[in-house]
Copies of this chain bind each other. A is one copy, B any other.
Amino acid sequence: MVQAKTWILTKHFEGSPKESDFELKVEELPEPKDGEVLLEAVFLSIDPYMRPFSAFRMKEGDVMIGTQVAKVIQSKNPAFAVGSHVVGRCGWRTHTVCDGTDLIPVMPEWPQDISLSLALGTIGMPGLTAVYGIEEVLGLKAGETLLVNAAAGAVGSVVGQIAKIKGCKVVGSAGSDAKVAFLKELGFDEAFNYKTIGSLEETLKKASPEGYDCFFENVGGPFSTVALQQMKDFGRIAVCGSISTYNDTTPQTGPYPQFTMIVKQLKMEGFMQSRWEHKHPETLKRLIGWVKEGKLQCREHTTKGFENMPAGFMGLLKGENIGKAIIAV
């Protein structure tokens, strides 16, 4: 009999999540039946989307939603060998019994010298999000100028690097001087700490006086209003996240964007990577290739211990991480 630790959402978040919204619960797991496997979490992902999605994809008392890299420790499913690793949407839990549905084996071409935790980051959902946002939504072309905010985060840092691979000028916004230094290391052309600049408008103008062809939007809120004004005519905006509004108890408001969108003929599109699931295998291979060639640097912010998962999550929403936030069990 295996005991699984799980993190339960005891109460829907109001404003910023707090300790008392979570409860660590121990669950006795049954033996895997025919077709089932027993998994043990190795790395768990914490991501901003968990905050807003908790409101309408979970009810109080549910295990928190989320993805993990897990090791198969028992198997009654021939598709999953004991000792192999999978990526699964098991939620915040140390052990899981499930059938193979929705489990994705770590790719056979995964290089020995690359941490499996990257399957939750640059070579996983955030990396896929960066690629599809750039290629499918923005159609970013060499020579164009791209703006990305939350640029030191799991998605933003990959976005900027891929845009550089594609021969673009990249301007990044982040929330600390350490993050800005990281962006410069990654090869961003311009980077700034939005918390310490005087005027966002002036900063964006100075970083690219001719405006922006593309904007990869992770933040939303007042930043979006200012950024819209700095787009070139026919600018494209990929809306991936809106982290500055996730903890709102009453929705923040800002000027309606319609008129700006008309006179500049802007295109804005919200997206989630799952739309291009059929392309995942090919895209992950490209991401692995870039990592191996050293073209994509992967920084992680690792919190040790399953017990510290809520703290890691709350830190993420405060912007404490540089790169991908990961829980190592």
Question: What's the nearest-Cβ distance from chain B to residue A263, in Å?
Answer: 7
A227 to B323, CA, bound (A): 36
- Contact call A259/B245, Cβ cutoff below 8 A: yes
Q: Are A253 and B255 in contact (CB under 8 A)?
A: yes
Interface flag for A271 (CB, 8 Å): yes
Which residues of B are found within 8 Å of A217, using beta-carbon distances?
A: 258
Across-interface contacts of A258 in B (CB, < 8 A): 217, 220-221, 224, 239, 241-242, 245, 270
Contact flags A244-271 to B (C-beta < 8 A → 1, else 0): 0110000111111111111111111111
Central interface residue in A52, A240, A264, A268, by most chain B CB within 10 Å = A268
Q: Is the CB of B265 within 8 A of A267?
A: no
Query: Is A165 in the interface zone, CB < 8 Å from B?
Result: no
- B256 and A252 contacting across the interface, CB-CB below 8 Å: yes
**Docked pose: A52 CA to B220 CA in angstroms:** 26
Using Cβ atoms and an 8 Å threshold, which residues of chain B touch A278? none
B256 in contact with A240 (CB, 8 Å): no
B262 touches A241 (CB 8 A): yes
- Asked if A272 is at the interface of the complex by the 8 Å CB criterion, the answer is yes
**CB distance B272 to A262 under 8 Å?**
yes
Whether A268 contacts B265 by the Cβ 8 Å rule is no
Which of chain B's residues have a CB closer than 8 A to the CB of A252? 255-256
Contact of A239 among B221, B253, B262 (CB under 8 A): B262
Residues in B with CB closer than 8 Å to A270 are: 258, 260-267
| B242 pairs with A256, CB closer than 8 A | yes
Q: What is the chain B residue whose CB lies nearest that of A225?
A: B256
Beta-carbon nearest neighbor of A241 in chain B: B262
Whether A271 lies near B265 (C-beta < 8 A) is yes
**What residue of chain B has the Cβ atom nearest to residue A268's Cβ?**
B268
A257 and B224 alpha carbons, distance in the complex (Å): 10
Q: Is the CB of B261 within 8 A of A265?
A: no
Q: How far is the CB of A237 from chain B (nearest CB, A)?
A: 9
Q: What are the residues of chain B within 8 A of A268 when measuring CB–CB?
A: 261, 267-269
Chain B neighbourhood of A220, CB < 8 A: 256, 258-259
A242 proximity list for chain B (CB < 8 A): 256, 258-259, 262
Measured in the bound complex, the distance between the Cα atoms of B234 and A275 in whole Å is: 10
A221 touches B256 (CB 8 A): yes
Picked from B224, B257, B263, B272, the residue with its CB within 8 Å of the CB of A265 is: B272
Please list 17 pairs of residues, one from A and one from B, whose beta carbons are closer than 8 Å in the complex, sorted by A's number.
A220-B256, A220-B258, A221-B258, A224-B256, A224-B258, A239-B258, A241-B258, A242-B256, A245-B256, A246-B259, A251-B256, A253-B256, A262-B270, A263-B272, A265-B269, A267-B270, A268-B268
Which residues of A pack against B, CB within 8 Å?
A: 52, 217, 220-221, 224, 239-242, 245-246, 251-272, 275
Additional pairs, 13, CB under 8 Å, beyond known A221-B258, A265-B271, A265-B275: A52-B259, A220-B258, A221-B256, A239-B262, A242-B259, A242-B262, A245-B258, A251-B255, A253-B254, A258-B270, A261-B269, A263-B272, A267-B269
